A = this chain, B = another copy of it.
Amino acid sequence: MSVKLEDIAKETGFSISTVSRVLSNSNYPVSEQIREKVVHVAERLGYEPNIAARSLRTDRTNTIGILVDDLLSPFTPPIVRGIQDYLNKTGFLSLIVNSDWDPDQEQAAIKTLLSRPVDGIIFVEYSHQTASDVLERSNKPHVFVHRLFGSPIKNSVVPDDYHGASLATTHLIDLGHRRIGYINGPENWHTCRARLSGYQDTLAGHHLPFESSLVQPGDWEIESGYAGALNLLKLAVRPSAIFAANDPMALGAIYAIQDAGLRVPEDVAVVGYDNRNFTKTVRPRITTVSMPVIEMGGVAAELLLRQIAEGRKEEEEIKVKGQLIIRETCGASEEARTQEEPDSRTLFRRVLFNKQPED
């Protein structure tokens, strides 16, 4: 059915080995004329290498496995996309498996991935801090990408939460705010401690006093942002700005401010964290710090491919910095707003609109 090396060998009159040497891009010396002819015939016949056969020989497959928590999680697709974009440059493909945070499914998925022709594995938002014994024993390179690890681990890619919180706090201070409330996530999370430190250190850096009453606890959900903001508004001197450790809590805070009869950002400015999709859809559009998910995916892919090429090793955790996305809730001037790309949906429509058939 499909054309193989043998066909090209027959057609050109050269041996299978020579053809292979040309077509597999080995740096084995082949005379220029032969190379040219082989490439030409291969193209004419539409040759595509049989990867299964190649893998069997080389034990390399140019395929990696990605074990994701759940493709429906908001941060997972962009991480995966970041990985794929990097892979794409190198001819690698990715096999994706969901774990649904179920330890059994995770183990099963790892086994599945290991039996497949994959050269390495990326764990996206994996619920453990280490891979399984099976993986360790297999000696396949593997790296972790996670937003919320409890502590630094080897070969992982994580966001720089401290830096992100500093960006947000600095921005509010630059806008003239002196009393800035902070709605935190669950205190025992590493992520939240890092963001809190970023907030505190930035205040200190600007010689602003830190008041513990300005820090409200939250649990990441909208309702806790609402409650936290309500507490902040009840303070004797209410803050003129609120920074929330994630976007849902920022949205909750906005609702609380509005329900109290105040305006965002005129009376109280709000900045969120993560750059969730809804932050550009709601009114007013939420100023936030981006979770650099696409970049994190890219860095993870790069790290993994390097280890595939050079062998497994233990590398220190890599921190990736997010960016401040200035929109409407912080009260910055229109000119200061961040220029944003049209999202993929818009692009999609733009393409389809033009080719929607008359049918």
Question: Which positions in A face B, CB cutoff 8 Å?
Answer: 1-2, 46, 48-53, 55-56, 61, 63, 69-74, 76-78, 80-81, 84-85, 88, 93-98, 100-101, 111-112, 114-117, 125, 127, 129, 134, 138-139, 148, 150-151, 186, 188-190, 220-222, 248, 251, 255, 277-278, 281-283, 343-349, 351-353, 355-359
Alpha-carbon distance between A189 and B348 when the two chains are bound, in angstroms: 14
Interface pair A72/B78, CB less than 8 Å apart: yes
A112 and B125 in contact, given A52-B117, A73-B345, A150-B356 (Cβ under 8 angstroms): no
Q: Lowest 6 A-B CB distances belong to which pairs?
A: A48-B115, A151-B359, A52-B55, A150-B357, A101-B351, A52-B117
Interface pair B98/A95, CB less than 8 Å apart: no
List residues of chain B with CB within 8 A of the CB of A116.
51, 63, 93
A189 and B52 in contact, given A77-B72, A134-B46, A349-B220 (Cβ under 8 angstroms): no
Alpha-carbon distance between A282 and B74 when the two chains are bound, in angstroms: 16
Alpha-carbon distance between A5 and B234 when the two chains are bound, in angstroms: 71
Q: Can you name 26 A-B pairs with beta carbons within 8 Å?
A: A1-B139, A46-B134, A48-B114, A48-B115, A52-B52, A52-B53, A52-B55, A52-B117, A56-B56, A71-B84, A72-B81, A72-B343, A84-B96, A84-B97, A84-B98, A93-B97, A94-B95, A94-B96, A101-B347, A101-B352, A127-B355, A129-B357, A186-B353, A222-B281, A277-B277, A278-B278
Knowing that A52-B53, A188-B356, A222-B281 touch, tell me 7 more A-B residue pairs with CB under 8 angstroms.
Answer: A48-B111, A50-B56, A50-B115, A51-B117, A71-B81, A93-B116, A278-B282
Looking across the interface, which residue of chain B has its beta carbon closest to that of A1?
A: B139
List residues of chain B with CB within 8 A of the CB of A190.
359
Alpha-carbon distance between A300 and B283 when the two chains are bound, in angstroms: 37
Interface pair A70/B344, CB less than 8 Å apart: yes
Interface pair B359/A150, CB less than 8 Å apart: yes
Interface pair B72/A344, CB less than 8 Å apart: yes
What's the nearest-Cβ distance from chain B to residue A50, in Å?
7
Alpha-carbon distance between A351 and B70 when the two chains are bound, in angstroms: 13
Alpha-carbon distance between A4 and B78 when the two chains are bound, in angstroms: 37
What's the nearest-Cβ distance from chain B to residue A114, in Å?
6
Alpha-carbon distance between A148 and B346 when the two chains are bound, in angstroms: 14
List residues of chain B with CB within 8 A of the CB of A51.
115-117
Interface pair A251/B281, CB less than 8 Å apart: yes
Looking across the interface, which residue of chain B has its beta carbon closest to that of A75?
A: B345
Interface pair A348/B125, CB less than 8 Å apart: yes
What's the nearest-Cβ distance from chain B to residue A2, in Å?
7
Interface pair B112/A93, CB less than 8 Å apart: yes
Looking across the interface, which residue of chain B has its beta carbon closest to that of A148?
A: B352
Interface pair B278/A255, CB less than 8 Å apart: no
Looking across the interface, which residue of chain B has its beta carbon closest to that of A128?
A: B355
The listed residue with most B CB atoms (<10 A of its CB), out of A150, A190, A344, A347, is A344
List residues of chain B with CB within 8 A of the CB of A220.
349
List residues of chain B with CB within 8 A of the CB of A73.
344-345, 348
List residues of chain B with CB within 8 A of the CB of A48.
111, 114-115
Alpha-carbon distance between A346 and B246 when the two chains are bound, in angstroms: 14
What's the nearest-Cβ distance from chain B to residue A67, in Å?
12
A52 and B46 in contact, given A69-B348, A70-B348 (Cβ under 8 angstroms): no
Looking across the interface, which residue of chain B has its beta carbon closest to that of A115?
A: B48
